[in-house]
Structure 1
Amino acid sequence: MSHEIRTPVHGILGVTGLLSETKLQPEQKEYVDIIRRNGNLLLNLLNDILDFSKLESYHMKIEIIAFDLMDLLRDVFYLFETYAKRKNLEFKMVGDLPSSLIISTDPNRLKQIIVNLVSNAFKFTEKGSVLIEFEFDIKSDSKQCDIRIRVRDTGIGIPEQKLKELFQAYTQMDTSVSRKYGGTGLGLAISKGLAEMMNLKLTTQSVINRGSVFEISGRIPLAERSEVNFEPKKLNPDTNGASIQDLRILVAEDNETNQMLIKKVLEKLGYEPVIVSNGIEALHHIETKGTDVFFLDIQMPELSGIETAKILTQHTNQSIRPYIIAMTANASQEDKEDCLASGINEYISKPFRKEEIADLLNHFIARKNLKT
């Protein structure tokens, strides 16, 4: 069901992104920006509802992965840095800031919590500052670490009588606040539920008209740098300037809107992709025409993306096997591991951006050039 709900929203956002790159009058550009903002808002609301449903039905999974916590915190900071300048707010990270701290927990869910807290801080702060504060204490056995991550703002604050119910689902301070700032009232309930699943605490202190502090705290296992298998993807800002090579690109995607989107993106990058609607057509094309790069939708009728990749890996002449890039609406570590285990080389999450596609193709070209 989540796939069916997200797919049309991804289509709206993808087409809006393409439209924003065309020559628009100022008024038209304003309308496109409104569509994009509201489309992103709708996608966030859908994700909140789906996450809360998983928490309520005990279907939410926590994936323990070794990663660098400092990389994750810096990633969150960079995500909001431009927005802070736009709102003319002071924004910085303070406290104990080692260059690296390798821990084991769920990086995607921890990032989701921190992003939600920082997003709320900016939403409810009109002047002053938003700070990400960090403290840690490595235990004597060097196997565990106590962490405290605080998001501190100088915003509107929360009335004392509302603090006790703040982490309950669908809670807003009052109707005037919900009308002005929007949201489902699910973000903090989801964040608290996720924190508890990771054996962390999420607490808050607030003074009306002076600001709020939200704190994530708990003891987390340490890990070795060699165990790290998760790193936030960093896009190369110069990808669009790379030289275009003659690549035979095949796309297997059953949704017509998504077919059009990736076709337009690839054409804007200088490529001429072949589009097919399912895995069976894709396998036939690869065997008869040849393919260098294969963009593969994971959820397709007749033959799924995972099944198609397994056939290519196990039964196809390896000399004609293409570089496979999965396109998926599911971005969990488990889904990514399933992709890689089936022989898929890379993956992108929908809605994808032109820069992501360019980055992946340039990476493939660079590897190809090294081998020749």
Structure 2
Amino acid sequence: MTAPNSPVSQVSENEDQAQLTLLSHDIRSAISDVIGGLRLVDLDALDPTTRLQLERVRTSSEVLARLTEEALSRTAESTGATEAISSNLQLLRLLQNIRLRWAGRAQEKNIPFEITVQSSVPNLVALDRMAMERILSNLLSNAIKYTDSGKVGLKVKMCNPDELCFIVTDEGPGFSDQALEKLFQYNGRPDSSKKPGTGLGLHIAKEIADQLGGALRVENRKNGGSCITLSLPYEAWHDETATHTGAALPDLTDIKVLLAEDNETNQLILAQMLDAMGAEYEIARDGVEALNWLERETFDLALIDIDMPRLSGIDVMNTLRSGNTPHKDMPILAITAFVLRSNREAIYRAGANRILAKPIMSIEAFGQSITTLLFPDDQPAQIQSDDQSTVEMDTTRLHRLLTIAGPAGAQELLMRLASDLGNVQQKMAQALQKMDQAQLRAQTHVLISLAGAVGAEHLQNLAQVLNSAAHKLDQDAISELSAEADRGISRLLQIIDQEQNARAEVTE
């Protein structure tokens, strides 16, 4: 018997991991081919019945892609179950996808299916899209399966002034006493059921509803059929930044954005700004993930970092602009810390519509860039950047970011900043010992972005000069500048630590 931690066991695990990586690649490629093929079908040329079924298949394939991606990620990372993550969700877009997916299934049984939305329901909510998709799909699947005559409906309304409710009704036989006894149990399907199934649907829906902070209520209707209500209290679906935007900011409540950015701190900052403008967005951690998202789903705008691992932003844009895809003409806002003329020309040649210079100093500058791109005027494309200052540390900028993040998000932002800065400091020290030119340039690139984002302009400028010295391999300048940069990082980490402590005292 092989010991769990023996070399043989480790080799076997590595081989399994390698095989899983290859299998994951092939699964993703096959699903992308399915989605891509369906997108090429001219639905307008089809009769209504065929068009409805193809819309159902196309919508289901996109859901399958998301579920597969989540399953493969969990398997590869061995992370086990994860909680639903709240983000901006456009309800009308979600409900349209639900209609496309389930109207065809209902038509197969010749039963009406309708979705109604109360006028007071907000379009933008802070909920995890995949979680909502899974809950509603499981409830509607059961409702359609058990209804042989009559109709199935989904109604979205405010049950109380602040409680958001999704109500699925059907005109089937309702729940038997045995079914009600086993309600929400794993494999809780009653033995007397004549319909095929495992009984997992309600169990899954209940589990996800609990994760969202909501409740699932089941009852039989007086005149036959069943009624299942998913109720979400105010704190489960509401986000201050999602519904209260400044007057100068664009309203992006109908816009879906792909954010391709490898740095976690920058991801968080940009995501919070998109939240404040009401956008729905997905995050890609590198260029390969960005292309995978674009193969699976439709976006209105892409924010693409130029310097990303596996596949650069330049390569992503070249691929998009050269292919015959729905995203070929999608607006692209390139984000980069390097804004020399040669860099700009290469970025525009690759297909960027506009360039936004890192660090992004304010949400207003970010919003203005998006406004000009999505609602174009006659102004020529230009780099948006705030004026630089000689002030060593502008804490006002940091405090503005923390205000945008909100109380809970501010602590997370500070933790990520500290982690990223500590990581840069460590890797720069290692690179200096080996005089590793590539690593020094990579870490100073990250430092330029981080320091500028929080107002540490002296450190940002220092990192730019150090990056140039690393490019020229000027060892004397590298040694001197690295020592000063190390002190600057330590000082910035002290400021962040003070902010964390001050906020911790307020919450106690």
State TM-score, norm by structure 1.
0.50
Q: Considering only CA atoms, is the larger Rg found in Structure 1 or Structure 2? A: 2
Decide which structure has greater strand share.
1
Structure with more relative contact order (C-alpha pairs < 8 Å, separation 6 or more) = 1
Higher helix share: 2
